[in-house]
């Protein structure tokens, strides 16, 4: 079971990972290390059901989850 603190950490780690990817630009990444980090983040990352509940309780923070389109 994922705790609220673990979900928060997962969101912050995802932000950190994305910022590092952007900052590195065209640099080569260690794909195995990146995959492991992504797997750790996803273990506790908020799911659609979490976002749906959060969006109804805190609409000023989250919008309701919608299916992603192919252009994302």
Classify 9 as helix, strand or coil: helix
pLDDT of residue 11: 92
């590195």: which residue's tokens? Answer: 24
Q: What is the mean pLDDT of residues 45-66?
A: 86
Q: What is the 3-state secondary structure (H, E, C) of 16-30?
A: HHHHHHHHHCCCCCC
What DSSP designation does 72 have?
Answer: -
* Structure tokens given for 49: 């059901």
What value does the mean pLDDT of the chain take? Answer: 82
Nearest C-alpha neighbor of 7 from the set 71, 62, 56, 67: 62
Q: For the chain, what are the domain ranges?
A: 4-57
Look at 4 and 72; give whichever has higher pLDDT.
4
Distance between CA atoms of residues 63 and 26, nearest Å: 33
């Amino acid at each position: 079971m994922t705790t609220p603190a673990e979900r928060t950490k997962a969101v912050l780690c995802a932000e950190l990972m994305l910022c590092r990817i952007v900052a590195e630009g065209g640099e080569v990444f260690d794909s195995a290390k990146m995959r492991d980090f992504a797997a750790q983040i996803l273990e506790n990352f908020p799911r659609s059901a979490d976002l749906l509940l959060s969006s109804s309780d805190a609409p000023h923070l989250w919008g309701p989850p919608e299916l992603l389109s192919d252009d994302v």
